[in-house]
Amino acid sequence: MTTITNVVLQLGDQPYEVTVATGDCGKGGRRLPGDCNLDGSVNVADPLCLLGFLFLGDHDPVSCGDAAGSGEALLDWSGDGRLSVTDAVIALRYLFLGGPPHALGTECIPTAGCPAACGG
Ligand SMILES: [Ca+2]
């Protein structure tokens, strides 16, 4: 939800009225890259969730948007624009072998067209 508020700022003798928008501002909800099961954390359940989606027809974690930072990009650990078993392997290497983190980082990011699934 976006809230629009008019605020008057006094700079010296001059008042300035500005409009401030707070909330999601249309960017979508915030999600954690790699959090396939949308529980707000990344652990072994997430690469298993991705494999389930890819090979078993489990729930669809990617259909909430297709722009950068959206559902599919959030599971694309390699950042090559495709979802494959490689992304699950990269996730497991990150979790257990000190491999590189998700291509989009390790912090919650706005996701176009997706509901929120992490803080903020
Ligand atoms: Ca998770």
If you measure from the C-alpha of residue 50 to the centroid of ligand 1, how many angstroms do you get, rounded to a whole number?
A: 10
Q: Tell me the backbone φ, ψ of residue 84, rounded to 5 degrees.
A: -155, 180
Using CA atoms, how far apart are residues 31 and 24, in angstroms rounded to an integer?
A: 12
Q: How far is the CA of 75 from the centre of ligand 1 (A)?
A: 11
CA of 3 from ligand 1 middle (Å) equals 30
Instruction: Tell me the Cα Rg of the chain.
Output: 18
Strands 30-31 and 2-11: unpaired
* pTM: predicted TM-score of the whole model, two decimal places: 0.69
What are the pLDDT digits (tens) for 53-85? 899 987 777 666 555 446 788 899 999 989 999
Sorted by where each starts, the structural domains of the chain and their CATH numbers stand as 27-110 (1.10.1330)
pLDDT tens readout for residues 4-59? 455 565 667 777 665 444 444 445 688 899 999 888 899 999 999 999 989 998 77
User: What distance in angstroms lies between residue 47's CA and the mean position of ligand 1's atoms?
Assistant: 9
